[in-house]
A = this chain, B = another copy of it.
Amino acid sequence: MLSYDAIQRPELDQWSFTETEFNPLAQGKCESVMSLGNGYMGLRSATEEAYIGATRNLFVNGTFNRFDDFEVTELPNAADVTQVELLIDGKRFTLETGSVTDYARTLNLRDAELTRSFVWESDQGKRIRLEFRRFVSMHDRHLIGMKLQITPLDEGISLRLASGINAQMSNSGSQHFHEGEKRIFDKKYLQLIQTTTETKVDFVLSAQHQFWIDGTAVELAPQMEIERRKMEMAYSVELKAGQTLEMQKLIQVHTSRDSDVHDAGNLESLRTRSLETLKKSGATGYDRLFEQNQQAWASLWDRYHFEIESANRFDLLALRFAIYHMMVMTPVHDRRMGIGAKGLSGEGYKGHSFWDTEIFILPFFIYSEPEVARTLLEYRYLGLEGARRKAKENGYEGAMYPWEVAWPSDGEVTPVWGAVDIVTGKQTKIWSGFIEQHITSDIAYAVWHYYQATGDQKFMDDYGYEMIFDTATFWASRLEWDEEASRYEINEVIGPDEYKEHVDNNAFTNYMAHFNLQLALQYYDELKTRNPQLLSHLDSALSLQHYAQEWQEKAAGIYLPKPDERGIIAQDDTYLEKRILDLTPYKSQTKVGTLFQDYSLDQVNEMQVSKQADILMLFYLLENRFAPELKRANYDYYEPKTLHDSSLSFSTHSILASDFDDKKLAYELFRRATEIDLGPHEHSSDAGIHSASLGGIWQCVVMGFAGVRMLDGELHLHPKIPGKWQRLSFPLYWKGSLLKLNITKDQLQITTDSKDEIHLVIEGKKVSFTGQLQFEMIHI
């Protein structure tokens, strides 16, 4: 169980959470939610000592590889550097034996340090204090630091520490690396090379160990072992009662995909650099290296400074948790890389990027650090090549974005087979890569959102227009003419609700395609006057003159499902005719997917059961196309039919609830969203944290409670902070100006250092100000 009170270190209140008891059956929880990283690499927080059920992961962003022709590309699990075997008096130390007091494993979000400490009493009755510390540096992106302190309290002990680099790791059995060279330099520095089998990315991992007894440096002679794909140093030492042995292990990780040096492709220079930086790190030492990391994090937290005064102190912690993980998983350093659906915290979804990035995470960056948002969109620009290939392969034109993407030029990488169907005993086919097509308009939407909020014209000129135009061209080619109904339809798709496969006219998909087409038309017209030279350039590349007419015709003729007499918009052509199942027994379960213990996906397909927000997501994205009453009516209809089996669901519902003024419900759903990773469910995060949900938590607060929206190019604010909250304060970028918002129950304050006059709409009223604004709110 996790505790959210910083009892042991009060200075970390609302900055840390703590595991107070080790549970070997639920190791995935802390491994994921306490995972470390810096956007360059992610380190899952498995314990130093090994346990059955542990999952050790080290991922370096963008280093995708495919095991064979039958699997899709994924982020390979690099060599493990964190395992340290401790033999105490000849027995392997494990928390499964003996007894433990003062146990605390804590992730400190402020400094991004993982600590673990306890007093362990062996079966023989010897008490030993152990303390572990670990960080992945935000200052030197190649550095992992570890520190371990052992103090026998009652009697002396014989201690043996075995630690090294273990490249026997795999992705659940799929080995992505050739066995590379292993060297030990000066009986001190370990270096292991591993190269991915298909993409030939070189990894160089170097490590060293240093020791102190009671603060005095000591040299321990290692026993060196080089096995297959593995190298290890074992150090033996006798400790007297009260003596403290400290071991520091420093690790440097470099790959041939690194973009911070010009010659990363040269393995020899990579090896040399790795070893030299390791030696430098060793001379600097853990404490100073950690300080540098702290400083880097401090400036990040300055940038994402939130304050929440809530009766529930957990709320701010949960938000910081979300921001922490977005920092840890986002490759701000390299536009060739995206954000994985599990970040860099687990094997789940193979490090692939989904619409999660554009719809759930990107808004955080658009409003908090627009340059990162731009980098993420450039990643999609680089993906145009694969999107065009996918369109062609499917008989379409323009850019059909892959449902899942890895290395940008790879194109579609969604796996084809999923979980077992309990009725047939066969694995279920995953159709998303073929027919979950809304991703293309989601990306167009994100480009538009970014542009509207930042006014970044250069981005649009360089990348954005091309993306909007070519995605519209895809939709134009995708639409199917229904002669009878005399309209364009989109048949045989999956919408956001993945429990409905092979449906026709999914409302979300149709509306968003329509949006995409209209947007292209709008920009096409604008460019004619604003930048005819660019238009002409784009025209020759993308045949705009030819397609623009088609966009026009299709946008005009596309079928956009309308509300029925009850005000309900059908999620798709047949949804409303399907059987209704009472979901109460499944909604009360903490584990997702329990429905599939009783029904196959084919059976669920025939019921009014939704995995997640579908049409409600549409109401959020294109909010001013739908009236509030319509939203409420549809919410009331669809909510009981929605299992929230997707982590993307709660935050959307929460924001909608804010929109129709149900503050209590909005807060309740926000709480459910914060519990997806940080809540009591022991296995929800086994495969990694839920990136989109983390973005969703930020959106609940900023888009929901603060009511921040971009509408028709204007910044709207409509704060409705939860009843339990007294105050909410946060930074927000709008068209290049950094605003600081401070919201109480009845007042909204905005300050900015920007000299520009800021225009915005608060609670429906147009307001302009320079420097500072104070606004008394009607809506409480």
Q: Which residues of B contact A228 (CB under 8 A)?
A: 171-174
Sample of 16 A–B contacts (CB below 8 Å): A50-B52, A51-B52, A70-B179, A96-B97, A97-B97, A168-B172, A169-B173, A170-B170, A170-B175, A172-B229, A175-B175, A184-B425, A185-B425, A226-B419, A226-B427, A231-B420
CB pair B92 A25 closer than 8 Å? yes
CB pair A224 B183 closer than 8 Å? no
Question: Which of B92, B174, B422 interacts with A224 by CB under 8 Å?
Answer: B422
Q: Please tell me if A477 contacts chain B, counting CB pairs below 8 Å.
A: no
A226 to B168, CA, bound (A): 23
CB pair A67 B175 closer than 8 Å? yes
Q: Please tell me if A597 contacts chain B, counting CB pairs below 8 Å.
A: yes
A181 to B425, CA, bound (A): 11
Interface residues of A in 49-102 (CB under 8 A from B): 50-53, 67-68, 70-71, 87, 90-92, 94, 96-97
A178 to B67, CA, bound (A): 8
User: Using a CB–CB distance below 8 Å, which chain A residues touch chain B?
Assistant: 24-25, 50-53, 67-68, 70-71, 87, 90-92, 94, 96-97, 167-175, 178-179, 181-187, 197, 223-231, 419-420, 422, 425-427, 597
CB pair B174 A229 closer than 8 Å? yes
Q: Which residues of B contact A427 (CB under 8 A)?
A: 181-183, 226
Q: How far is the CB of A229 from chain B (nearest CB, A)?
A: 4
A165 to B269, CA, bound (A): 44
A-B contact sample (14 more), CB < 8 A, given A168-B172, A173-B175, A186-B425: A25-B92, A53-B92, A68-B178, A96-B96, A167-B173, A172-B229, A173-B228, A173-B230, A174-B179, A174-B229, A183-B426, A187-B422, A226-B427, A231-B420
Q: Which residues of B contact A175 (CB under 8 A)?
A: 67, 170, 173-175
Give 8 nearest A-B pairs by CB, closest first: A168-B173, A226-B420, A184-B425, A175-B175, A172-B228, A173-B229, A50-B52, A70-B178
Q: Which residues of B contact A422 (CB under 8 A)?
A: 187, 224
Q: How far is the CB of A4 from chain B (nearest CB, A)?
A: 25
A25 to B87, CA, bound (A): 10
A184-B420 in contact given A52-B51, A70-B179, A173-B167 (Cβ < 8 Å): yes
CB pair B229 A187 closer than 8 Å? no
Q: Which residues of B contact A229 (CB under 8 A)?
A: 172-174
A223 to B598, CA, bound (A): 11
A231 to B172, CA, bound (A): 12
Q: Which residues of B contact A226 (CB under 8 A)?
A: 419-420, 427
Q: Which residues of B contact A50 (CB under 8 A)?
A: 52
A183-B425 in contact given A174-B229, A229-B173 (Cβ < 8 Å): yes
CB pair A425 B187 closer than 8 Å? yes
Residue of B nearest to A53 (CB): B92
Residue of B nearest to A71 (CB): B179
A181 to B228, CA, bound (A): 29
A237 to B295, CA, bound (A): 55
Q: Which residues of B contact A178 (CB under 8 A)?
A: 68, 70
Question: Which of B24, B181, B597 interacts with A223 by CB under 8 Å?
Answer: B597
Q: Which residues of B contact A68 (CB under 8 A)?
A: 178, 197
A753 to B228, CA, bound (A): 53
A425 to B53, CA, bound (A): 34
A182 to B421, CA, bound (A): 11
Q: Which residues of B contact A227 (CB under 8 A)?
A: 172
